Amino acid sequence: DAGVTQSPTHLIKTRGQHVTLRCSPISGHKSVSWYQQVLGQGPQFIFQYYEKEERGRGNFPDRFSARQFPNYSSELNVNALLLGDSALYLCASSLTGTGVWDTEAFFGQGTRLTVV
């Protein structure tokens, strides 16, 4: 059974460009969350989607947006890229996405974004 898959694995973009990152959750998982991990730091929460609805949003600017599709896959979009957006972007899937955390979150291997 496939785990969480993310694409692309690596990406280099120029300041001001736009980027779209993709995530496919584990089959049967309905919740997808996105995290940004800057070198030397722990992952920081960006968005959570459950059943195609946004359930939570972290402290990130409006340049960051996301959506979840009927097949529960998800896209993270970042506009007007800044050098500081260079990071590992992690997608996590879980079975449920409401209330108290009751199921394990499984992470994909991430997309390493470099903004030059």
What is the smallest separation between the CB atom of 9 and other proteins, expressed in angstroms? 11
Q: Does 99 bind other proteins (CB under 8 A)?
A: yes
- Residue nearer to other proteins on the CB measure, 14 or 102: 102
Q: Does 35 bind other proteins (CB under 8 A)?
A: yes
21 Cβ contact partners less than 8 Å away, ≥ 6 residues apart = 6, 7, 8, 11, 34, 75, 76, 77, 78, 89, 91, 111, 113
Residue 94 · residue 106 · CB < 8 Å: yes
49 Cβ contact partners less than 8 Å away, ≥ 6 residues apart = 31, 32, 33, 55, 66, 67, 68, 74, 97
Distance between CA atoms of residues 6 and 92, nearest Å: 10
Stretch that binds other proteins, among 17-25, 60-68, 72-80, 95-103 (CB under 8 A): 95-103
Q: Does 1 bind other proteins (CB under 8 A)?
A: no
Q: Does 98 bind other proteins (CB under 8 A)?
A: yes
Q: Report the site for other proteins in 41-70 (rule: CB under 8 A).
A: 41-45, 48, 55-56, 58
Residues in touch with other proteins (CB under 8 A): 33, 35, 40-45, 48, 55-56, 58, 90, 92, 97-101, 104-105, 107-110
